[in-house]
Chain A
Amino acid sequence: MILAGGQGTRLGVLTDHVAKPAVPFGSRYRIIDFPLSNCTNSGIEAVGVLTQYQPLELNKYIGNGHSWDLDRNSGGTYILPPYQSIYGSDWYKGTANAIYQNISFIDRFSPKYVLVLSGDHVYKMDYSAMVRQHVQTEADGTIAVIEVPWEETSRFGIMNTDEDNRITEFEEKPKEAKNNLASMGVYCFSWQALRKYLILDEEKTGSDNDFGKNVIPMMLADQQRMYAYTFNGYWKDVGTVYSLWESNMDLLDKPEEINLNDDSWRIYSRNPIRPSHFVGPNAVMDRVAVTDGAEIYGTVIHSMLSHSVVIEEGATVKDSFLMPGVVVKQGSCLDRCIVGMNTIIGADMQVGPDVTDGTNYYENERVCTEGITVFEQNLIINDGAKINGNSMIYMPTANEGFNKIVVGLNERELAMEV
C-alpha cells in the first residue's frame, strides 16, 4: 500500500497542481517510480496506491501499472481514492485512516503481510528481504530504519532497540537521542495485527490516525513484537525544495550510491515518445544527465535535464534541475534553479543566488532557501527578467506583482509518455 495522497506543501508551487509522488525526478523519473519499481523488483504483484490530493496527473501517470510490469492477472495496480459508502464518506484523515478505509480492499487478497510505503521517497530497497526478517522474527510489525548522523537525530522518528533489533521505544524528534536509527516510513505488518490496531485507533477520539504518531506507539505500548530492519543504502525523503534539488544533484555527484544503471534493480518509468537527445555543435556539457528528446545548444554545467528540454545557444544552465519540456532561450543564465514542466524561460534572463540587482520575491510567503529558485509549471517568463535566488515564481493572481515576469501560460502539449 503506497501512501500517495499527501499535499507536499513544502514543495511550494511544484505541488500546486500535482501530488508530490508525481513530481518529476532525476531526468526521466517521477518520485513514485522508486517505490513502484521496488515493489515489482521485490516480487510484490498487488499494489494499492492511496491518492487524495490533486490525483489526476498521478492517476494518468500510473495508468494500469503496465510501465512497472504491474498489470497482472491476479493482483496489479489499484488506485484507491477515498469513497462514499452507506455510512457516509470521508477524506483520508491520516496515514493510518487511509489504510483503515481500505481494510476490505486488503481483505479481498487475504494477505498474511502488508507493506505500507511512502510515495515520496527516493531509494532502492528489496522489500522481500525485509519481509523475510519479519517472518523469521515472528514480528507483528517491522519498521525499516536507516542510520542518520547523530546531529540530525532531532529531525527524525528514532527507534530505540535491544540487541535483537526489537524496538523498545519510539521517540518522535527527540532532543537527546539514545540511538541514531531513524524510521524511513517503510513498514511491514502482519495483516491481522495491523487490522486490529487500525480499528482500535479509529475508535480512539482525538487520534491523528497516523502510523508514526498513533498506531506504532499503541502497538509498542501493547507489547506487540515490533522489530527494526536496518537498511543500508541511499534513501531520501524529497519533501522540501532543498532536498528535491539536493537529491537530484546527488545523482550527478554520487551516481554509484543509487546506481540507476543497475540491471538487476531497474527503476521503471513511463517513457516519453521522443527521439534520442541531441548535443549541438557549440554545446558544452560538464556533469550532465539527460534523456530523450532534449536538445542542447548552450552550456550546461552540473545539471539534470529531463525529456524534451531545449537549451538554446548562448544560454547557460548551472546546478539546476529542469523538468520535462522546459525551454531556456538564448543568452539566459540559470543558477540553482528547479524549473517546472513545460515552462519557457525567456531570452537574456538572469536567475540565481549571485544575481543581486534583480527582483526579490521574498515578500510573499512562498520563498525558497539556500539560494534556490523554483518556477511553477507551464509558465512563459519574460525576456530579460532578473530574479534573485530564493524566489518562487508562479502564475500571478490579480493582486500580485509578477505580471512583468510571468507573461502567459504555455499551452503546448508535452510528448506522450508510455
Chain B
Amino acid sequence: MLINAMGLIVADHDQVHLGELTGPRALAAVPFAGRYRIIDFILSNMVNSGIKTVGVLAETKYRSLMDHLGTGASWDLDRMTQRLFILPPFINQSIMRGAQTSDLSGLLNYVENGNQKYVVISDSNVIMNERYEKLFEKHVESGAEITVLYNKDGARFGSPVISLELNKQGRVVDLLLDAPHLANDNNFLGLSIISRDLFITLLEAAIARGFNEFTQLTLLRMFPDLDIRGCEHDGFSLRINSVATYYSASMRLLESKVRNHLFRQERPVFTKVKNEAPAEFVTGCKASNLLSSDGCIIRGEVSNSVFFRGVDMGKHSVVKNSIIFQDVVIQDGVVLEHVIIDKDCVIRSGVELKGQPDYPVLIGKGSLV
C-alpha cells in the first residue's frame, strides 16, 4: 500500500548532541555504517513507503546536509512535482524588524503546498529499515489525531528518552522525559503521523503565538487537547542519543543479524553515489570483523572496526574497536583502540590513541594528530 503522505524530517534534535560529531554538521548528516549518513535511512524508509515529497527541516549547520542531499536524485526525489525540499530557517521582512531570527512560515508553506492527506514526521536519532504501513493503518483505523511510534528498548540506550504513558485505548495520557524509574517503558521512536489539515492548523497557531521552532516534543505535549495514540514498533531499531550510543550502535553493525535487519534487498538503503575505486587489501594486512568501504587501502592490522570510504591505513598500524570516517589517513605504526575519528583527519606515525568501550576517544573533523 502506498501511503498518501508527505514526509518531514527534522534534521536537528534539540536534546541529542553528539559532541564533535555534530559540531560541524546536523544530527541527520552524521555519517553511519561506512557509507551512509543517518538521514539516508529515514529518506529510504520514506521512499520505500511510497512517500515522494519530503521536506528536510534544517535549523543550523546545514551545509554538509545540503551537500549530501543535492537534488535528491540519489533517493529518486528529483521529480517534476513530488520531490525533496530543503527547509532552512525562514526569515521574512516583518521578522527583520523584530527580535526574532526566524519563524515557522517556511515549514507552513511547505506543508500547505502539499496535496497529500497526511504528514509523516521523523526525527533523526533512530535508525531502522521499515515501511510505515503499520503506523499508517493504525492511524487511519483508530481515528486518532496523531499516532506516534514507540518501542520498549529505550532505557538501554540512555538519555534522552521520551516515555509515554498510554491508557487502555492506547491514548497518550502522560509524557516523561528521562524518567529515572520507568513505570511503563514505552519509548518514543521519533516518528509520528498527523493529518496535513491538522498540522497546518497547529502550525498557524504556533506562528501566531510567536514560536520559531518545531519539535515533535512540542507536538506530543499537546496530549491533553489532542487524541494522540501510540503504535508499538516490534521491528529492529538503533537509537543514537549520545556519542556512547553512536559508538555502540556502530559496533553492533559487525553482527550479521544487525546488518540483515538494516540492509534488505527489498527495502534498499539509498545514499549519495561517490564513485570511489574498490577497496584494496594489500599483502601483509590483517583484517577481521571489519565493515569497510570503497576507496579504502588497508595495509595494517584491523579488527572490530568500521571504516568509511577512502580510509588510507599505513603499515604496522593496529586499529581495534574503532570507527574511522571518510578520507582519514592513518600513517604507519599508529595504534588506535576505541576511537572515533571524524572525516579528513591525519593520524601521524607512531601516535597511540586509546579510549574505553563506554567512553571512546573522539577526534574532530580535519584534525592533525
A260-B277, A268-B275 known; A279 and B263 CB under 8 Å? no
CB distance from A312 to the nearest CB of B (A): 12
When the two chains form their complex, are residues B291 and A278 in contact, meaning their CB atoms are under 8 A apart? yes
With an 8 A cutoff between CB atoms, is B210 at the interface?
A: no
Binary interface encoding of chain B residues 265-282 relative to chain A, with 1 for a CB under 8 A from any of its CBs, else 0: 100111001111111111
Please report the C-alpha to C-alpha distance between residue A291 and residue B273 in the assembled complex, in whole angstroms.
Answer: 13
Partner of B278, one of A260, A285, A413, A415: A260
With an 8 A cutoff between CB atoms, is B18 at the interface?
A: no
Most chain-A Cβ atoms within 10 A of its Cβ — which of B256, B279, B292, B307? B279
User: Which residues on the B side are within 8 Å of A271 (C-beta)?
Assistant: 273-275
User: Which residues on the A side are within 8 Å of B259 (C-beta)?
Assistant: 275, 278
With an 8 A cutoff between CB atoms, is B74 at the interface?
A: yes
Please report the C-alpha to C-alpha distance between residue A92 and residue B307 in the assembled complex, in whole angstroms.
Answer: 48
When the two chains form their complex, are residues B287 and A276 in contact, meaning their CB atoms are under 8 A apart? no
Please report the C-alpha to C-alpha distance between residue A274 and residue B271 in the assembled complex, in whole angstroms.
Answer: 10
User: Which residues on the B side are within 8 Å of A23 (C-beta)?
Assistant: none
When the two chains form their complex, are residues A287 and B282 in contact, meaning their CB atoms are under 8 A apart? yes
User: Which residues on the B side are within 8 Å of A287 (C-beta)?
Assistant: 281-283
Please report the C-alpha to C-alpha distance between residue A413 and residue B266 in the assembled complex, in whole angstroms.
Answer: 10
User: Which residues on the B side are within 8 Å of A269 (C-beta)?
Assistant: 275
- Tell me the A254-277 residues at the B interface (CB within 8 Å): 255, 260-261, 266-269, 271, 273-277
With an 8 A cutoff between CB atoms, is A290 at the interface?
A: yes
When the two chains form their complex, are residues A413 and B265 in contact, meaning their CB atoms are under 8 A apart? yes
A416-B268, A418-B74 known; A277 and B293 CB under 8 Å? yes
- Tell me the B42-87 residues at the A interface (CB within 8 Å): 73-74
User: Which residues on the B side are within 8 Å of A66 (C-beta)?
Assistant: 73
Least CB separation from A304: chain B residue = B278
With an 8 A cutoff between CB atoms, is B35 at the interface?
A: yes
When the two chains form their complex, are residues B293 and A285 in contact, meaning their CB atoms are under 8 A apart? no
- Tell me the B135-149 residues at the A interface (CB within 8 Å): none
Partner of B292, one of A276, A304, A415: A276
Please report the C-alpha to C-alpha distance between residue A276 and residue B274 in the assembled complex, in whole angstroms.
Answer: 13
A261-B295, A277-B292, A289-B280 known; A283 and B269 CB under 8 Å? no
Least CB separation from B263: chain A residue = A275
User: Which residues on the B side are within 8 Å of A67 (C-beta)?
Assistant: 273
When the two chains form their complex, are residues B287 and A273 in contact, meaning their CB atoms are under 8 A apart? no
When the two chains form their complex, are residues B277 and A261 in contact, meaning their CB atoms are under 8 A apart? yes
When the two chains form their complex, are residues A418 and B273 in contact, meaning their CB atoms are under 8 A apart? yes
With an 8 A cutoff between CB atoms, is B116 at the interface?
A: no
When the two chains form their complex, are residues B278 and A279 in contact, meaning their CB atoms are under 8 A apart? no
When the two chains form their complex, are residues A281 and B281 in contact, meaning their CB atoms are under 8 A apart? no
User: Which residues on the A side are within 8 Å of B297 (C-beta)?
Assistant: 261
Binary interface encoding of chain A residues 63-77 relative to chain B, with 1 for a CB under 8 A from any of its CBs, else 0: 000110000000000
CB distance from A388 to the nearest CB of B (A): 29
Please report the C-alpha to C-alpha distance between residue A41 and residue B147 in the assembled complex, in whole angstroms.
Answer: 50
When the two chains form their complex, are residues A27 and B290 in contact, meaning their CB atoms are under 8 A apart? no
Least CB separation from A260: chain B residue = B277
When the two chains form their complex, are residues A291 and B278 in contact, meaning their CB atoms are under 8 A apart? yes
Please report the C-alpha to C-alpha distance between residue A254 and residue B233 in the assembled complex, in whole angstroms.
Answer: 51
With an 8 A cutoff between CB atoms, is A292 at the interface?
A: yes
User: Which residues on the B side are within 8 Å of A289 (C-beta)?
Assistant: 278-281
Least CB separation from A274: chain B residue = B263
- Tell me the A34-92 residues at the B interface (CB within 8 Å): 66-67
With an 8 A cutoff between CB atoms, is B285 at the interface?
A: yes
Please report the C-alpha to C-alpha distance between residue A269 and residue B268 in the assembled complex, in whole angstroms.
Answer: 19
CB distance from A327 to the nearest CB of B (A): 14
CB distance from A233 to the nearest CB of B (A): 16
Least CB separation from A300: chain B residue = B281
When the two chains form their complex, are residues B293 and A279 in contact, meaning their CB atoms are under 8 A apart? no
When the two chains form their complex, are residues A290 and B279 in contact, meaning their CB atoms are under 8 A apart? yes
Interface residues of A, dominant DSSP: loop
Please report the C-alpha to C-alpha distance between residue A280 and residue B265 in the assembled complex, in whole angstroms.
Answer: 21
With an 8 A cutoff between CB atoms, is B294 at the interface?
A: yes
With an 8 A cutoff between CB atoms, is A26 at the interface?
A: yes
CB distance from A280 to the nearest CB of B (A): 7
Binary interface encoding of chain A residues 238-268 relative to chain B, with 1 for a CB under 8 A from any of its CBs, else 0: 0000000000000000010000110000111
A261-B295, A273-B269, A276-B292 known; A285 and B287 CB under 8 Å? yes
- Tell me the A362-382 residues at the B interface (CB within 8 Å): none
Least CB separation from B273: chain A residue = A271
User: Which residues on the B side are within 8 Å of A413 (C-beta)?
Assistant: 265
Least CB separation from B259: chain A residue = A275
Least CB separation from A66: chain B residue = B73
User: Which residues on the B side are within 8 Å of A290 (C-beta)?
Assistant: 278-279, 281
With an 8 A cutoff between CB atoms, is A288 at the interface?
A: yes
User: Which residues on the B side are within 8 Å of A288 (C-beta)?
Assistant: 280-281
Partner of A280, one of B36, B74, B288, B294: B288
With an 8 A cutoff between CB atoms, is A386 at the interface?
A: no
A287-B283, A292-B35, A415-B265 known; A276 and B278 CB under 8 Å? no
CB distance from B334 to the nearest CB of A (A): 19
CB distance from A91 to the nearest CB of B (A): 35
User: Which residues on the B side are within 8 Å of A285 (C-beta)?
Assistant: 281, 285, 287, 298
When the two chains form their complex, are residues A276 and B34 in contact, meaning their CB atoms are under 8 A apart? yes
Please report the C-alpha to C-alpha distance between residue A287 and residue B73 in the assembled complex, in whole angstroms.
Answer: 35
With an 8 A cutoff between CB atoms, is B262 at the interface?
A: yes
With an 8 A cutoff between CB atoms, is A282 at the interface?
A: yes
User: Which residues on the A side are within 8 Å of B273 (C-beta)?
Assistant: 67, 271, 418
Least CB separation from B254: chain A residue = A278
With an 8 A cutoff between CB atoms, is A134 at the interface?
A: no
Please report the C-alpha to C-alpha distance between residue A266 and residue B275 in the assembled complex, in whole angstroms.
Answer: 7
Please report the C-alpha to C-alpha distance between residue A280 and residue B255 in the assembled complex, in whole angstroms.
Answer: 10
Least CB separation from B290: chain A residue = A279
Binding site for A on B (CB under 8 A): 33-36, 73-74, 254, 256, 259, 262-263, 265, 268-270, 273-283, 285, 287-295, 297-298, 306-307
Can you list 16 contacts pairing A with B, beta carbon distance less than 8 Å? A28-B278, A261-B295, A271-B273, A273-B269, A275-B34, A276-B34, A276-B306, A276-B307, A278-B256, A279-B290, A281-B288, A283-B288, A292-B293, A416-B268, A418-B74, A418-B273
Binding site for B on A (CB under 8 A): 26-28, 66-67, 255, 260-261, 266-269, 271, 273-283, 285-292, 295, 304, 413, 415-416, 418
Given contact pairs A281-B289, A286-B285, a sample of 6 additional A-B residue pairs in the complex whose CB atoms are under 8 Å apart: A261-B277, A276-B307, A277-B293, A278-B290, A287-B282, A413-B265
Closest 7 CB pairs of A and B: A276-B34, A260-B277, A27-B278, A285-B281, A273-B268, A289-B278, A276-B293
